[in-house]
Amino acid sequence: MGDIGIGIIGGGYMGKAHSVAFASVASVFDTPLRPRLVSICSSTTASAEIYRKAYGFEKATCDWHDLIDDPEVQAIVIASPQATHHDIALAAFAAGKPVLCEKPLGVSLEQSRSMVAAAKASGLANMVGFNYIRTPAAQQIRKFLADGRIGEVTWFRGEMTEDFFADPTIGGWRSQGIANGTMGDLAPHMINAARALMGPIESLSASVETVHKVRNGVKVSNDDQAQMMCRFESGAQGHMFFSRVATGRKMGYAYEIHGTEGHIRFDQEDQNTIWLYTTEGPETERGFRKILTGPAHPDYLPFCQGPGHGTGYQDQIIIEAKDFLTSIAEKRTIWPSFDEGMEVNRIVTAAFDSSAKKIWVNVADY
């Protein structure tokens, strides 16, 4: 097992999550590479130094160029605001360093295409931070579907709903810029889930809206909620709803999948539970079965030997770190790569266009 120097750009919410993950991942999963927390970058020297001490890094900087140029930093994690992702990723690949980038990949489809091209040209490991699809429950659901456990899938309903912006007196940076709206911030997670569970989306009809058009006297320039009807390439139909003003919802990453022989339900607010219904047996004995995740499910046992004890949010990020390190060590692409980030961005772009024109659109046209 060799060491690998990690540099993380961004020290806030996700910067901390990634720092904790890389500090512990080798102990949890016995990874082929053992991370060393070399450098962390934040917007000011003072904040970077605070994060360095708090998270256990060796160095701190307020200039991401310095972090990328540091020869001891061998892999980059981008956990900074969306508008910075493109330039940082391109510089990292040019410096010969693999990249794990938070979603959304770029602030536009054009940026995402540029980032994918740079990743492919470099031949380096690249990954996007779609962490929710990595839970043991989500991995097991994907296996159920692949094994035909509920027959032919006919319908998908998904939501990504939270209420952190339900209060119209809350404003600030989140109310400005398309990339910081619901379609840029929340929707990518559920679109990624839909693609992972159901396959590519062929066409869609979307409606995007701003519920609170003014916050604290300032005009809002992005969206609060959106809904989307879609048809998958498999022929199945679907519907998705995204909102940051869904009062009462804290982590409403939820979906239900109907098949000809069963039904699956999942809600991230209860992330260790799968609800499975099958048409097996007599009608008098049919009903939803509650399945608690345990050591028999993917990526659960390294955390805990007890069934039903459960995993949490931070564990998702540790699983993500494990996949990134494995991708680097084995010199192979592990999903979700930058390609997936670009495809999700393609659907977001199509949804905005559909909403503006009030028509169905084909995703392949974007």
Would you say residue 78 has pLDDT above 90? Answer: yes
Structure tokens given for 4: 């690998």
φ and ψ of 138, to 5 deg: -65, -40
Mean pLDDT of the chain: 97
By the 8 A CB rule, do 212 and 168 touch? yes
Distance CA 317, CA 314 (A): 5
By the 8 A CB rule, do 73 and 6 touch? yes
As a whole number, mean pLDDT of residues 160-165 equals 98
Q: What was the pLDDT predicted at 95?
A: 98
Three-state SS string over 186-251 comes to CHHHHHHHHHHHHCCEEEEEEEEECCCCEECCEECCCCCEEEEEEEECCCCEEEEEEECCCCCCCC
Return the amino acid letter for 338: F
Kindly report the number of other CB atoms within 10 A of residue 209's CB atom.
Answer: 13
Q: What was the pLDDT predicted at 20?
A: 98
Residues 102-124 have pLDDT tens digits of 999 999 999 999 999 999 999 99
Distance CA 270, CA 252 (A): 10
Residues 304-349 have pLDDT tens digits of 999 999 999 999 999 999 999 999 999 999 999 999 999 999 999 9
Residues 176-190 have pLDDT tens digits of 999 999 999 999 999
Q: What was the pLDDT predicted at 337?
A: 98
Would you say residue 1 has pLDDT above 80? Answer: no
Domains of the chain: 2-131 (3.40.50.720), 132-328+344-357 (3.30.360.10)
* 3 state DSSP class of 310: coil
What is the phi-psi region of residue 34: left when phi exceeds 0, alpha when psi lies from -120 to 50, beta otherwise?
Answer: beta
- pTM value is 0.96
Nearest to 8 by CA among 129, 104, 115, 132: 129
As a whole number, mean pLDDT of residues 224-230 equals 98
φ and ψ of 217, to 5 deg: 80, 0
By the 8 A CB rule, do 345 and 109 touch? yes
Residues 18-56 have pLDDT tens digits of 999 999 999 999 999 999 999 999 999 999 999 999 999
Q: What was the pLDDT predicted at 88?
A: 98
As a whole number, mean pLDDT of residues 286-303 equals 97
